């Protein structure tokens, strides 16, 4: 089954400013962006949409090479309001999704790193699911296997015993999962995004919490695999030293 994937690469990189988009920073000789294209293509993704924002030209310069190298289609959609939170970057892909991914799409952030087994396991669970929710989020249980995660920055998730999300956010006091930054979404999320924007709420977590009220947001446990969010120099050093 061929899948579609959106990768958000629009941010300013204020905490790890190397003069180029963070997704082009190399980890063990390969950029974070290329790593995503390589790994998602191996799991069956044949069409990607990159959402650019701040400093988009370096991304545009490598798209042709990556498309040819991994035999995939890569489109670019630009978010000219990239100073808003990341939910707005999803919103600019609505036309692309309506044309190319009507049945659903993976979504991740350009500065996240995954063990490829996470993608395989998440895809397997999505294909096997019998529920029809608008959003599924890959989550991890806080444990020794992810002790490197920056607890002050990671998005925290509270779920019930059925995997339904009860709350999500960076400041939660009560939580039992970490948000890995890997999603599967249906096109109806765009309607929810518009509802959020009407209330001047622009983050993905805002959108998820709106879907929680509609009972349209579930999680899938992806446990025991390495992953990280490369936000700053410390994250980059830690991630480089992990055995990805």
- Alpha-carbon Rg for the chain, nearest whole angstrom, is 17
Range of the domain at 171: 3-241
CA distances for 82 relative to 52, 91, 203, 210, angstroms: 8, 11, 12, 22
Residue recorded with tokens 């049945």: 103
* CATH code of the domain containing 176: 3.90.550.10
Which stretches within the chain are classed as H helix?
A: 32-42, 57-70, 86-91, 94-100, 116-128, 189-198, 204-213, 233-241
CA atoms within 13 A on the CB side of 93: 34
For the stretch 178-195, pLDDT in tens is 999 999 999 999 999 999
CA–CA distance, 33 with 10 (Å, rounded to integer): 12
The whole-model pTM stands at: 0.96
Is there a contact between 157 and 167 (Cβ–Cβ < 8 Å)? yes
Q: What are phi and psi of 61, to 5 degrees?
A: -70, -25
DSSP per-residue codes, 63-110: HHHHHHHHT-EEEEEE-TTTTS-HHHHHHTTHHHHHHH-TT-EEEEET
Pairing state of beta strands 45-52 and 3-9? Answer: parallel
Which tokens go with 192?
A: 């929810």
Which tokens go with 115?
A: 């063990």
User: Would you give per-residue pLDDT tens digits along the chain (244 residues)?
Assistant: 689 999 999 988 666 667 789 999 998 899 999 999 999 999 999 999 999 999 999 999 999 999 999 999 999 999 999 999 999 999 999 999 999 999 999 999 999 999 999 999 999 999 999 889 999 999 999 998 899 999 999 999 999 999 999 999 999 999 999 999 999 999 999 999 999 999 999 999 999 999 999 999 999 999 999 999 998 888 888 988 887 7
Number of domains in the chain: 1
For the stretch 66-113, pLDDT in tens is 999 999 999 999 999 999 999 999 999 999 999 999 999 999 999 999
Residue recorded with tokens 């765009």: 190
Is there a contact between 124 and 197 (Cβ–Cβ < 8 Å)? no
Is there a contact between 229 and 109 (Cβ–Cβ < 8 Å)? yes
Is there a contact between 136 and 184 (Cβ–Cβ < 8 Å)? yes
């Amino acid at each position: 089954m061929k899948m579609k994937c959106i990768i958000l690469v629009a941010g300013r990189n204020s905490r790890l400013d190397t003069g180029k988009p963070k997704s082009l920073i190399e980890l063990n000789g390969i950029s974070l962006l290329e790593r995503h294209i390589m790994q998602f293509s191996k799991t069956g993704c044949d069409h990607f949409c990159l959402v650019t924002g701040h400093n988009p030209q370096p991304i545009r310069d490598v798209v042709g090479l990556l498309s040819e190298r991994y035999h995939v289609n890569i489109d670019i959609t630009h978010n000219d309001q990239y100073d808003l939170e990341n939910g707005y970057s999803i919103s600019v892909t609505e036309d692309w999704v309506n044309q190319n991914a009507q049945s659903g799409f993976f979504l991740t952030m350009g500065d996240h790193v995954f063990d490829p087994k996470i993608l395989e396991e998440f895809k397997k669970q999505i294909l096997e699911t019998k529920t029809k929710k608008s959003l599924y989020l890959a989550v991890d249980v806080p444990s020794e296997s992810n002790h490197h995660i920056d607890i002050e920055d990671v998005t925290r998730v509270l779920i019930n015993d059925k995997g339904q999300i009860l709350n999500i956010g960076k400041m939660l006091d009560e939580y039992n999962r970490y948000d890995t930054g890997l999603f599967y979404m249906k096109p109806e999320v765009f309607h929810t995004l518009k509802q959020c924007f009407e209330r001047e709420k622009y983050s993905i977590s805002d959108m998820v919490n709106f879907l929680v009220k509609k009972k349209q947001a579930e999680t899938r446990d992806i446990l025991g695999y390495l992953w990280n969010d490369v936000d700053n120099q410390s994250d980059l050093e830690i991630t480089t030293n992990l055995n990805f």
